[in-house]
Structure 1
Amino acid sequence: EKPRTSVFPLAGVNIDQSMSDERKVVLREVTKELTGRYRCEVSTDAPDFHTTIVSAYMNVVDPLKKEPVLMMEKQSYSVGDTLRGNCTTPPSSPAANITWLINGHKVNASYIVQSVVEGQDPVTIAGLNLAVNTFLGGKLTIVCVADLFQVYSSRAEITLDEEKPRLASVLGNHHQAQGSASSF
């Protein structure tokens, strides 16, 4: 038997009673203005009249409309070069968190400078600055992942080439001398 439910109206909050039950409350048509702390109260009928109240903070996410933009200083690098790049997210609410991956490995935060440009819908910018120490098959795969909690994730990826060293001529510079010849 499904217990009787009473919903107390709150401006801007649309509860889907057909999808809600004693364990969950489903909200419809939420906006980011509804971010905040919510409380749910469940009471039993006579003769006990037990009441349980649970509250939790809810973040309403307005996801990214596009992928992040990933830009690197150069298209090819050598071991020992400094790898520099920027990843910029489109506006979102709240601001996205950026994670960098190089050849599938997460980059330590000490090599990243992340800032948020505040506004109605903030933008996140993360700069990467570290020395290149290895390539995988002559390639570096750089990935920028933009996350909003565990609700939304978007990524941009670029593959950079290992700069091949230029071979010096074994003969060196070749100049023919002009002038007189002598013999011994």
Structure 2
Amino acid sequence: MKNIKFYSKLSTTQNYKYVKEMDNQQEDDEFRKLNYYPICEIESMNLHSWSYEYFHNRKLFPTSSLLFLSSMFTLIHQYILLIITIIVISSIPISDCLKITLLDIPSPLVVGESAELTCNYDLEDNVLYSFKWYKDGIEFYRYVPRDYPPTQYLKMSGINVDIRKSSKKSVFLHNVNLSTRGKYRCEISAEAPSFVTAAKEGSLEINVLPTSGPKITTDQNEYTVGDEIQANCTSDRSNLDIILNFTINGEPITNSIDYEVKYSTQLHSDSLKTSGLSLRFLLNDKHFHQGKLKLKCIASVPLYNIQNEANKIVKDYQYRHELLQYFASSSSSSASSSASESQAARSKVLNTGRIHHIGHYGHLTEMNMVKCIYVLFTTLIHWQFQNLFQ
């Protein structure tokens, strides 16, 4: 046990009243580890005019030791406050906490559709103060039981709320568009005394489906054997991946030595895109059936199991020319005495393999005859109109 006396060394006696010494005893062998408490009290009219130093057994007490002792006491106080805070928080009943049990955001939606965003919660022993919805951090709907009316809608681009179908647990959106997509957060708050809050968020995606089927274009409408044809198929605008495929006379076409197939995508300023498919190949006899080639483009949207198609008939102009030549030779043979010449011309056409005959006498079938007469009739009318306007 040591008696420690601390003396006040005064730098000035101005406004001095008195100095009072106090004693304290500490059990410590090391000087720097003394459990030190200030024991010098100074009373003065103006404390700013005083300076002081501490002495131990008439020896100067280091200032650094005082700072160490002061910081140690501050740390102890902080630990005590932390322990008290933990005890207070742990004493709060768990039943006072809010809990969101279900967040239902139907996604993705299609432009023009309507949907209900649901947020179910359990108040436990609390009383509801407010129920709110946020989009990208901005509030657009609230339900406050104490307000009149309790439901309120804050206008926002892309958000169309149907108040009549909204409630204290859901909000109803109708006629959604691309601006409707984003992050949605449901937030509930309790009344006093707990004032607890719970929140949960999810994403809403909006898709744009093609409003029309694909379109087929070619550089011309009539070709013949040996010509190179270039066909392009283009889908309508969408934000989805649209799969395009070509068929020729019902047979699927893929990229190969005979067919050159290329895919392309064009992005637009409204964040939508257009898919494209080009087809290039050389025409041969197997492509034409009775002078026609049927080209089809199929557009598929796998996510929604939607399929649209476009058809284009490509004609063989040489076939039409030979058909007209056949009828011309038939007419001349009936009026001409030279039947052998007519038969030779007719045989030349038949040997091309483009007009099919059946039976022992090589007559055209009834259906082919009707088609031939129709082609001849339309051709004659076309010639008449050309002569009329020349």
- Structure 2 length-normalised TM: 0.29
- Is 1:128 matched up with 2:279? yes
2:213 corresponds in structure 1 to 67
Residue 60 of structure 1 and its aligned partner are, at CA, apart by: 7.3
Distance 2:273 2:305 in 1: 17
Aligned residue type for 2:316 = E
- Is 1:8 matched up with 2:102? yes
The C-alpha deviation readout for 1:110-146, integer Å capped at 9, x for no partner, is 4211111134221011111011122112100111111
The C-alpha deviation readout for 1:62-82, integer Å capped at 9, x for no partner, is 321012121111111112211
Q: Which runs of 5+ in 2 are unaligned?
A: 1-99, 108-115, 119-172, 183-204, 323-390
1:157 corresponds in structure 2 to 311
CA contact (8 A) 1:72 1:85 kept: yes
Structure 2 residue matching 1:109: 3-state secondary structure: coil
Q: Give the greater-gyration-radius structure (CA).
A: 2
Q: 1:117 aligns with which of 257, 266, 269?
A: 266
CA RMSD of aligned residues (A): 3.3
Residue 156 of structure 1 and its aligned partner are, at CA, apart by: 1.0
Question: Identity of aligned pairs, percent?
Answer: 19
Q: Tell me which protein shows more helix as a share of its residues.
A: 2
Structure 1 residue matching 2:318: 3-state secondary structure: coil
CA contact (8 A) 2:224 2:318 kept: yes
Aligned residue type for 1:121 = L
Structure 2 residue matching 1:93: 3-state secondary structure: coil
2:382 corresponds in structure 1 to none
Q: 2:254 aligns with which of 108, 111, 125?
A: 108
Q: Tell me which protein shows more strand as a share of its residues.
A: 1
Return closer, same or farther for 1:61/1:101 CA change in 2, 3 Å cut-off.
Answer: farther
1:178 corresponds in structure 2 to none
Deviating above 4 A after TM superposition, structure 1's stretches of 4 or more consecutive aligned residues are: 10-16, 28-34
Residue 11 of structure 1 and its aligned partner are, at CA, apart by: 4.7
Return closer, same or farther for 1:146/1:60 CA change in 2, 3 Å cut-off.
Answer: farther
Q: Which has the higher contact order (CA 8 A, sep 6+)?
A: 1
2:296 corresponds in structure 1 to 143
Aligned residue type for 2:280 = N
Structure 2 residue matching 1:9: 3-state secondary structure: strand
CA contact (8 A) 1:98 1:146 kept: yes
Residue 86 of structure 1 and its aligned partner are, at CA, apart by: 1.0
Distance 2:228 2:101 in 1: 59
CA contact (8 A) 2:294 2:313 kept: yes
